Amino acid sequence: MSNYSAFSIFRHALSGNKNWSRAWRDPDPKPSYDVLIVGGGGHGLATAYYLAKEHDIRNVAVIEKGWLGGGNTGRNTTIVRSNYMMPGNTMFYERSMKLWENLSQDLNFNVMLSQRGQYNLCHSPGQMDAARRRGNVMRANGIDAELFDRDEVRRRLPYLDYSDNCRFPVHGAIFQSRAGTARHDAVAWGYARAADKQGVDIIQQCEVVGYLWEDGKIIGVETTKGPIRAGKVGLAVAGHTGHLASKAGLRLPIETHALQAFVSEPLKPLIDTVISFGAAHFYISQSDKGGLVMGGDLEGYNSYAQLGGLPIVEHALGSAKALIPSLSRLRLLRQWAGVMDMSMDGSPIIAKTPVEGLYLNGGWCYGGFKATPASGWCFAWTIAKDEPHEDNCEFTLNRFEHGYQIDEKGMGPQPNAH
């Protein structure tokens, strides 16, 4: 497989781009693997990649019911940040950020991480205090964070609504300069290509319909392409975790909800950063192609349908105009929805399950994309060593029993509130 570089582009261009090879193979499943990862999204592919790279476990397959990267990896708002306050979250997301920062080189695939910074706007003194606490935790843990007052935000983001007409005036913002966006599809493709290079089999169009059991232990999966045995089975199927775990007899602290995203027509550069509105659940950035990428609130009810309803469209676009009034005449090009695992405390699960042979990576709520590298890294560690790494040691399944809810928003066990 050819290495990607400016030189390779030049060389291939001269030969009419006729000689590029496949980015990854399309193998038939082998009868058995050491580790089988269910779910060919960013998390599953990253897990396979790090199993091979970090733990030298190469007899690995990733099976995907559709096409790789077709779940939430391909339908998010591409934001990457590490501004988490709760112990258990903070260092995990910072590990992710650090992996992101060298991911393009690591994978030899440009994932276009653009560290254009992210502003979390505050609209009350109380929000400023909460932001200060978050920023302080970040700084104390070696993560960059700055707290800006209204004037500084106004200097940096002059296009927000500072008029008397504004319903929720900006009081200030917390800013992480290393945050930004990455090209979402490239993450799946880059990990797929790199994992494939390490010998991982990526098997698309292969749906898990059940598990293979032996003595109460899971020893593989039954798929639409036949049974595949595995020493260990890892689930990385965010959005469908509840459904697939139930086939293994697990009831999880997870509900599945749909989240919409939106993109406008492409424009010349207008918004050079990522902005999160503090008066409603809304965030916006601009893609390299020029489209304004926007995310809103959950539909509010359990859903496995990748359908988005009008109330949330109104909510998100209303927030867009409230935040930046001049967006009014710009046009929405597409809306779509992804289904996500909303956990009861808003934080993920990366852990062994009570079922021997089954490992779980899920419950990502809104935050799965940014977590992709660390999620794969920590899940690979957990599978390889049969124990969590320090960075995912709080992402257990039984934390609700002992009471350490990693409730970053303080909303309690109400998934649609996180």
Q: Which two tokens stand for residue 94?
A: 């910072």
Residue 76 CB, shortest distance to other proteins, in Å, is 13
Report the b/e string of 56-73 with b at 16+ CB within 10 A: ebbbbbbbbbeebbbbbb
> CA 77 to CA 91: how far, in whole Å?
22
Q: Between 155 and 167, name the residue whose CB sits nearer to other proteins.
A: 167
Candidate segments 207-215, 230-238, 240-248, 374-382, binder of other proteins by CB under 8 A: 240-248
Using rule CB under 8 A, residue 390 touches other proteins: no
Out of 27, 224, 390, 414, the residue judged to bind other proteins by CB under 8 A: 414
Q: Between 155 and 331, name the residue whose CB sits nearer to other proteins.
A: 331
Q: Which two tokens stand for residue 407?
A: 């409730």
CB < 8 Å & 24+ apart, contacts of 265-269: 265/291, 265/330, 265/331, 265/332, 265/333, 266/290, 266/291, 267/291, 267/292, 267/330
Using rule CB under 8 A, residue 155 touches other proteins: no
Using rule CB under 8 A, residue 139 touches other proteins: yes
> CA 314 to CA 345: how far, in whole Å?
27
Out of 32, 34, 229, 400, the residue judged to bind other proteins by CB under 8 A: 400
Q: Which residues pair with 213 in a beta bridge?
A: 218
- For tokens 């709520």, what's the residue? 365
> CA 8 to CA 290: how far, in whole Å?
27
Out of 104, 120, 273, 392, the residue judged to bind other proteins by CB under 8 A: 104
Q: Are 369 and 79 in contact (CB under 8 A)?
A: yes
Q: Which two tokens stand for residue 362?
A: 């899920």
Q: Which residues pair with 274 in a beta bridge?
A: 118
Out of 254, 259, 371, 374, the residue judged to bind other proteins by CB under 8 A: 254
Touching other proteins, residues 359-388 (CB under 8 A): none
Touching other proteins, residues 196-225 (CB under 8 A): 204
Out of 56, 105, 155, 215, the residue judged to bind other proteins by CB under 8 A: 105
Candidate segments 43-51, 209-217, 315-323, 364-372, binder of other proteins by CB under 8 A: 315-323
Out of 54, 102, 209, 210, the residue judged to bind other proteins by CB under 8 A: 102
Using rule CB under 8 A, residue 135 touches other proteins: yes
Contacts of 99 (CB under 8 A, 6+ apart): 106, 373, 374, 377
- For tokens 């496949």, what's the residue? 22
Out of 27, 87, 226, 249, the residue judged to bind other proteins by CB under 8 A: 87
Q: Between 55 and 132, name the residue whose CB sits nearer to other proteins.
A: 132
The sign one gets for the Cα dihedral 182, 187, 189, 191 is: positive
Residue 386 CB, shortest distance to other proteins, in Å, is 24
Touching other proteins, residues 293-312 (CB under 8 A): 300-311
Using rule CB under 8 A, residue 349 touches other proteins: no
Opening angle at CA 276, ends 362 and 294, nearest 5: 75
Out of 199, 226, 318, 354, the residue judged to bind other proteins by CB under 8 A: 318
Q: Are 3 and 175 in contact (CB under 8 A)?
A: no
Candidate segments 33-41, 99-107, 215-223, 377-385, binder of other proteins by CB under 8 A: 99-107
Using rule CB under 8 A, residue 113 touches other proteins: yes
